Amino acid sequence: MNFLRSKYFANPYSLVALLGMTVLYLFFPSINNTLDSFYYATVARDGGELFMPHHLLYNAFGYILLRALHTSSALSVMCAMNALFAGACLWMMRSILLKFIDDKTTAAWLILLGSCYGFMRFATDAEAYIIPLFFALCGSRALLKKQSFFVVSLFISMACLFHQLYVFWWIGLLVFTWISEKGNRRKNIFLYLIAALVVPFVYAIVFYFSENSSASLFSFMFHDYLENHGANLVIGASALMLTPINFVRTFIQVHGYFLPLIMYFKIFIIPVIIAFTALIWGSFYLKNLFKRKEINSFDKKYASIHLVISGLFFLFAFLSSGNAEFMYMLPFLGVLFLVPTFKIRLKPLFATALFVFIWNVSLAIIPTHFLQLNSDFAMARYVSERPAAVFYLRNAKRIENTLEYVRPGMGYEIYSAEKLINMDSLVEKKHSMLSNAFNNQNAFSRNSMVQDYHLPTEENNHIWQIDSISYDLGVLRIYCIQAKSELEKFEQN
C-alpha cells in the first residue's frame, strides 16, 4: 500500500490515461501499413539502406532492435516500438502539464493528444515519426525543468537525427535560448550550439563509413531535397487543397472508406452517434471556456516559443504540398502554448477528448487493425501468384514494397500508373499486361484529388475485364491490356 501511495501514483487519473492509450497502441497495430512502413521494416529485417539521410538513425535503430530480440517479424516489432515510444511521448507531456494544471485536466489533455489521428496513426504503424517527437518533448521538458541548455539541445539534436524535420523545433528553442537569460546569453548559446555538433558529427561518420551515392557530406545531409526525393518545396494547387484537409486529419480521421465501412458494417454508426453526443454535451459548457492566466516571464516565453515552432512546422507542411506527416506534432505544440497561457474548463475539454477518442478509435484504429480498407494488399497477393505476368498498377510502389516484405527477392515486373509512360508503345512491347488501373475500387481519398493516372488508349489496345479479387470493403476488377497490333498479327497467322 505504501508503494501505491508513492509519488509515481500521486496523479492516478493522468497515469491511467497514459497507460490506457499505450495499451491501445500496442494491441491495435495497423494492418493497412503504408508503403514506407513496409520499406523500413524490410530494411530493418534484411539490412540494406540502413541510413537514410532524411531520418538517419531510424532504420538502423530498428535493425539493432530486431537483432537484439532475435526475430525477423520486423513490421510487428517496429509497430510495437512506436507504440511504446508513443506512450513515452505522453509520459513527457504528463510531466510537463502537471507543472501547470491538476491531474484530472492533465488526463483529459493526454486522452485528447493521444487520440489525435495524426499521432495515433503513426503510433500504430512502422513509420519514422514517433521517436523524434519523443526526443523533442524530452528537450522541451528539460527546458521547463531549467536543465542545462546543453542537455536541451542534445535532446533536440537526437530528434533531428531521427528525422530532419525537427530542425524547426531546434531553431525555436535556439531562439528561446537567446531571449531567456540576457546575462548568460553567450554561455547558453555556446552550450546549445556545442551540443548540436553531434548532428553533423554523426552524419559525417555515416557518410564516410557507409555506402552512399552522395558526392559530399553536404549533399548527403540534404539528399532528399537536392535529389527531390519526396521533399520538394512548392506552392501549388495541391498545397492549397491538401493543407486544410490534412490539418483537419491531424485531429480526426476523415476518409472515403467511411461510406463503404458503414455500408458493410452498420454497427459503426453507433460510436459515431456516441461521439457526437459527447460533443453536444460539451457544447453546453462553452461559456468562459478560456481564461487567461497570470504567468511569469519564463512560462510566457516558454509557451510563446512553442507557438512559433508550430507555425514553422505548419509553414513547412504547406510548402511540402500540405504533407500530413509534417503536421502530426501540431496538437502537442498547441497544448504547450495553451496550457501555460490559459485556464480551460474541464467539462468541454473532456467532451472534446471523448469525441476525438471515440471517433478515431472506432473509425480509424479498430478498422485499420481488423480490416483491409483498400485493395492494395489483395492486389499484392494476386501479383505474387503470377510471377511471370506483367502488371500496370495504381499504387504500384506500395504493392512493390509489400511484395518485397512478404516475398523478398522474387522480382516482379510492375509498371506504375502514376508515372508518365508511353503506354501504347509499352503495351505493344510487352504484348499484354494486367492492370487494376481502370477502376478505382479503393475508397476516395485526398490523394485521388490530385493524382494523375496515365492509361493506355482503347484506340490502340483491347482492354477487357479478366478477373476480380475481393477485399474487406469491396471487389477490385482486374483488366487485361493487349495491343491491337498483336491481335492482328495473331489473326493473320
Q: What are 240-252's pLDDT values in tens digits?
A: 888 999 999 999 9
Residue 347 pLDDT grade (very low, low, confident, very high; cuts 50, 70, 90): very high
Asked if the model's pLDDT at residue 254 lies above 90, the reply is yes
Tell me, what amino acid is at 271? P
Residue 106 pLDDT grade (very low, low, confident, very high; cuts 50, 70, 90): very high
Integer CA distances (angstroms), 467 to 391, 440, 470, 476, 479, in order: 13, 15, 10, 9, 7
Give which of 244, 245, 33 is closest to 122, Cα–Cα: 33
**Alpha carbons 489 and 493: distance in angstroms, whole number:** 6
pLDDT at position 461, please? 86
This prediction has a pTM of: 0.93
How confident is the model over 213-225, as pLDDT tens digits? 888 999 999 988 8
- With residue 168 as reference, give the H or E element that holds it: helix 167-180
Q: What percent of the chain has pLDDT over 70?
A: 91
Asked if the model's pLDDT at residue 227 lies above 80, the reply is no
Spell out the residues 6+ positions from residue 460 whose beta carbon is closer than 8 angstroms to its own.
Answer: 424, 427, 428, 483, 484, 485
Give which of 122, 195, 193 is closest to 163, Cα–Cα: 122
Residue 3 pLDDT grade (very low, low, confident, very high; cuts 50, 70, 90): very low
Residue 205 pLDDT grade (very low, low, confident, very high; cuts 50, 70, 90): very high
